Amino acid sequence: MTRTADTWILAAQCPSILGTVDVVTRFLKEQRCYITELSSFDDRLTEGFFIRAEFRPLEDDFSAEAFERDFGERAVEFDMSFELTPPNKRTKVVIMVSKADHCLNDLLYRYRTHQLPMEICAVVSNHPDLEPLAQWHGLPWYHLPVTPETREQQEQQILDIIERTDAELVILARYMQVLSAHMCDVLAGRAINIHHSLLPGFKGAKPYHQAYEKGVKLVGATAHYINNDLDEGPIIAQGVETVDHAHYPEDLVAKGRDIECLTLSRAIGYHLERRVFLYSGRTVVLGH
C-alpha cells in the first residue's frame, strides 16, 4: 500500500489486554487525527498485542511532542511501548556489500527514484569492486579489507562509521562475511541480511549448481534480521518462484538474483514503514 506524504505512523505493542484497540483509535479521534490505515494482531500463544496506524492530523497545530506526552499517559495502563514516525522521514542507512552488485544496484535505483524512504550514509565493502557504482551515485565509499586476523579491527571500523553517521539501519546487500557475535549483538534489530533459499538447502559453494544437479523445483530468497545463528535470524520477508528441468544453472542464478533483490527491498520497506515488530525471537509484520 502506498503511503501518502502527509501521514504519520503510530506503531505500538503491549500485552494482550482488553481495550488495546480502543486506546489507540479513541485517542486518535480525540486528537482530530483521521486514520488512513489500521492493522493489528493479537498473538494468542504469547499473549502479545501489536498495532500500527497511519493517520493524518486534521488540525494545523498538530504537535508531535504533545501527542507523545498525552498518548504516553494513556499507554501506561496497558504497559504499551510505542513509536511515532513523522511524514517524509528518511531513515539513515549504511549498506554493506562484497563483490556481487545486483542487490546494491537495485537498492540504489529504488533510492534514486524515492521508492524507499531512506538516506544512504555510506557503502562499506571488504572488496574494491563496487566503488565505481557507489561513486556514480555520489555516496561515501569505504573499502575495509578483512582477514580472520583483522576481523575485530575491521568490524570496529564499520561500527565507527555507523555511529558517526547516526545510521539507524544496516543493510547487508550480499555481504559475504560472517559477522562476529559481538557485531550481531550490537546491531540486533537494526541489520537486515539477504540470502538464497532453496529446498532442500544447499550449503557451500555454487548452491544453484548443486540445486540444478538435484532437479530443484523452487528458487527463493529470505530477508531477515541478523543474529548469532548464521542465516537463521527473525524472518521479515521471503520470495519464491517455481523452476523446472529447462532452467540451467545460469538461469537459476539469474532468477535467484532477481528474487533476492525484490525480497530485500520488500523487507527494507517494511522496516522503514514501521511494519515490523520483533517479539519472542520472531517477527510480526503488519499491513503488508
Q: Which residues are catalytic?
A: 231
d(CA 27, CA 264): 35
Grid coordinates given for 95? 549498506
Q: Helix, strand or coil for residue 267?
A: helix
Output the 3-class SS for 25-91.
Answer: HHHHHHCCEEEEEEEEEEECCCCEEEEEEEEEECCCCCCHHHHHHHHHHHHHHHCCEEEEECCCCCE
Cα 8 to Cα 6: distance, rounded to the nearest angstrom:
7
Residues in the chain: 288
The span from the CA of 162 to the CA of 92, in Å, is 9
Cα–Cα nearest to 286, from 278, 276, 84: 276
Q: Is 134 helix (H, G, I), strand (E, B) or coil?
A: helix
Q: Rounded distance, CA 85 to CA 118, Å?
A: 13
